[in-house]
Structure 1
């Protein structure tokens, strides 16, 4: 029962809590604010509503404003004439699921069906698909990140509580005017029939919105659809990046060996790393992970039964379902420190190769000194694709396609964006087949034979541990990192 609860905690955290946290705090893989423009975006959720949506469209038409509607599929199905009118009057239509239900309470296939069903309804009405998606309450799960080619997740930069009728038009106006700036994405609601909303709340929203549109006219601030805002923002970012590159090239840097892109750590990334390392501590405590070196750990590990297809390891030894394995987890704090100090992938790889080479003898000694571990059949871990582990005696093989494999892939992509010297930009340079998690296994017999203190490890070290071999292995095998990071930490 305890193990089941721990796994439920782990899965729910990875599936729901962590993705929700990083999207809200850092905008990871979502759009929520524009840059480089003199416009703001009006977005409306939960409609269409037979009473208030038509009034809203009249108001937008009066002020020549353009908006984005994230519609609930079941409502769109009931009121297709409103969807058609939105489209004909130049507004953008996005998806808000078929029913207003949080993605945390649905599996990946259920969410996919909600999106596809709503998209089909919209397409049948206006004759074209939509690419833009806002999950109800802005709550994402892990697999929402995987649909980047299918949908663009859109959140917001300003939310006002307009679903509560008691807020009133005056207070709502004040809140909206405080946020009336270029690039803002306003979240409003043209329907009050969802959970937690008041049925007549849109009355107050419409009053406040007209006041805001009047003030926007005075300021010369226009409205913009989300698709146009995204296009303009990307163009502005490219232009700023180009100017920065030209400025950098025109200067003679006093220290050409300074790490590229590894300057001061911004507060957002500091917070993200802190939360990530806190999660690791909680995981280690719950699953009672051990290490061979408390002061300077490379690996953490735990004993568990292997669950999966048979794998043939070095020496022809077969790992089968139910065999006890020593599950390895790279120390994420150490991993981040290595990434922070390194200028490129090769330097990361060299540091990790050294750390692994130092730790494997310690691990062999630990197994020998703990008799209860002698029946463990193999070392086991999950890594991003690379050939580095093979030089140590690991067998590298594919993970079968499963929830675990897909969630691991997403987790390790996120991890790479944090620790890699080039940050998230590195992910854009890699094709999808190069970012597939791999299973790495080594027979415990090989660990003891190769790395125990009986002299065999010294022979291995003298043969292969020179600086030249480290450089060659790093350059050949590691655009990301040897044993880049083991799941789940």
Structure 2
């Protein structure tokens, strides 16, 4: 199980960071990045408001009667309420760009939502009386949980990155890039502040110069709109019961692919070809001593048969189950039916020679004591913490209503060690 948790950790980082990048940048799912109307363009400005550059930018936009979108940092909005009021009063749109310019990869989804997005929206709402509903994460980086923000916020990235945070690029290339690369539906990323990590402090000065010259040459080539005009909010459809959305299907496919790799890598085999729900792996036990109900003690170095569930079959069971209790009953019944077969393997298969007992860790452990298993709390620590979140995440991924399942019968969703000695199996399940 420890190897699995390690692999889960590495896989989780990939799912948490890389998968959202593929979903948003490659497939464009869950985000807005380019409009569809002819001649329509959205100017967007990140990292402000800045007391030096934002007023100059507002003057320039007002000169050309252009409405834009400002994705502001909540901490700066808090310090510059007059600028936020001016942006709002002059008809521009205000979106959220986190409270501080911190990557979402370095935070939990809860922290992103509560301490950055909602907090910043509260600040802007107190100043303007209007709550922002559009969001752009710093550097356009999303973690997997950020897609849940779509219930309250529309996520907007961009179709044209002008690299104007670099003073040299803004001074020498920005005007040419804007004149040659902007097309129908472009969402242009610019910055009205240069004090964030990686930016040049004077870069907004050159951005303003280049934008002023470009607007003069654009004349009436484009209609400049706010992002809420380019991407009007629509009521999101609620998936029908039993249906998985795109993100969940993608997560499920990635999860099952990883599981198949893990099974091959660690030589995990089904108990029976006819019913492969239960799988086994022989290994040495290296945890703290476990005293079982029949007096047998499993100690470090003892050979055990580690129990695993076939997650491909578990997908079918969870999708058909009416509740977590119903799922538990089905799994316990299937396990009980397989125990005589497991005993036969322990008694007759050479690879299971000297196995002291069965061992597993599961969220679904209610009722296993009736089958002869000893149920033991996991020792507190990082392993217990990681195991709990791994198994709950698995439940969320596998079940179409996984979120609801985690909210109901929560007392069942605490992982515990379940173990039974070979001697107890012989006493109960003589083949």
Task: Tell me the TM-score normalised to structure 1 length.
Answer: 0.57
How many pairs are equivalent? Answer: 398
- Verify the 8 A CA contact 1:45 1:188 in the aligned structure 2: yes
Give the secondary structure class of the aligned counterpart of 2:363. strand
CA distance in 2 between partners of 1:205 and 1:52 (Å): 13
Alignment of structure 1 residues 461-472 onto 2, 5 Å: none
* Structure 1 position 390, deviation (Å): 7.2
Aligned-residue offset at 1:311: 10
**3-state SS in 1 of match to 2:234:** helix
Whether the aligned pair in 1 keeps the contact of 2:362 and 2:418 (CA below 8 Å) is no
1:223 counterpart = 2:199: no
Q: What residue is the counterpart of 1:21 in the other structure?
A: 18
Alignment partner of 1:373 out of 340, 344, 355: 355
Deviation readout 1:19-53 (Å, 9 max, x if unpaired): 2334334469x951399997987654322234443
Q: Does 1:443 align with 2:422?
A: no
The answer to whether the 8 A contact 1:292-1:363 is kept is no
**SS in structure 1 of the partner of residue 414 of structure 2:** strand
Report what 1:48 is aligned to.
49
| 3-state SS of 2:415 partner | strand
SS in 2 for 1:48: coil
Write the distance in 1 (CA, Å) between the matches of 2:9 and 2:88: 40
User: Compared with structure 1, are the counterparts of its residues 323 and 413 closer, same or farther at alpha carbon in structure 2 (3 Å cutoff)?
Assistant: same
SS at match of 1:92: strand
Q: CA deviation at 1:320?
A: 11
* Alpha-carbon shift at residue 18 of structure 1 (Å): 0.6
| Distance of 1:318 and 1:85 partners within structure 2 | 75
Match of 1:280 in 2: 259
Q: Is the 8 A contact 2:162 2:190 kept in 1?
A: yes
Question: Cα gap change, 1:187/1:210 in structure 2, threshold over 3 Å: closer, same or farther?
Answer: farther
CA deviation profile, 1:299-323 (whole Å, cap 9, x unmatched): 445555558xx9998x588999989
1:139 and 2:141 aligned: yes
Query: How far apart are the structure 1 equivalents of 2:160 and 2:272?
Result: 48
Structure 1 residue 94 corresponds to structure 2 residue 96: yes
Distance (whole Å) between structure 2 residues aligned to residue 396 and residue 40 of structure 1: 62
Distance change in 2, residues 1:330/1:233 (3 Å): farther
Moved more, 48-57 or 130-139: 130-139
Instruction: Provide the rounded CA distance (Å) in 1 between the counterparts of 2:372 and 2:43.
Output: 57
Going from structure 1 to structure 2, the CA distance change for 1:212 and 1:19 (only over 3 Å counts) comes to farther
- 3-state secondary structure, aligned to 2:418: strand
Larger Rg: 2
TM-aligned CA deviation for residue 187 of structure 1: 4.9
Q: How far apart are residue 153 of structure 1 and its match?
A: 6.4
Shift in CA distance, 316/360, structure 1 to aligned 2, threshold 3 Å: closer
1:138-174, CA deviations, whole angstroms, 9 ceiling, x for partnerless residues?
A: 33446667x869x956543534222253653343455
Offset of 1:449 from its aligned partner? 2.3
Residues 69 and 452 of structure 1, relative CA distance in 2, 3 Å threshold: same
For residue 189 of structure 1, what is the aligned residue in structure 2? 191
| Counterpart position of 2:32 | 33
SS where residue 169 of structure 1 aligns?
helix
Work out the CA distance in 1 between the residues paired with 2:367 and 2:188.
48
Aligned-pair distance for 1:454? 1.6
Measure, in 2, the Cα distance between the counterparts of 1:311 and 1:212: 76
TM-score when normalising by structure 2:
0.63
1:57-456 equivalence runs, <5 A: 57-58=58-59, 61=62, 62-63=64-65, 65=67, 67-71=69-73, 73=75, 75-76=76-77, 79-89=80-90, 91-98=93-100, 100-105=101-106, 115=116, 119=120, 122=123, 126=127, 134-141=136-143, 152=152, 155-156=155-156, 158-164=158-164, 165=169, 168-172=174-178, 174-180=180-186, 187-197=189-199, 199-200=203-204, 202-203=207-208, 204=210, 214-215=220-221, 217=223, 222-225=225-228, 232-234=233-235, 237=237, 272-284=251-263, 288=266, 290-293=268-271, 297-300=276-279, 305=286, 328-336=307-315, 338=316, 344-345=320-321, 356=335, 359-368=338-347, 369=349, 370-374=352-356, 376=357, 378-383=359-364, 403-404=385-386, 407-408=389-390, 411-412=393-394, 414-416=396-398, 420=399, 423=400, 426-427=401-402, 432-434=407-409, 437-445=413-421, 449=425, 454-455=430-431
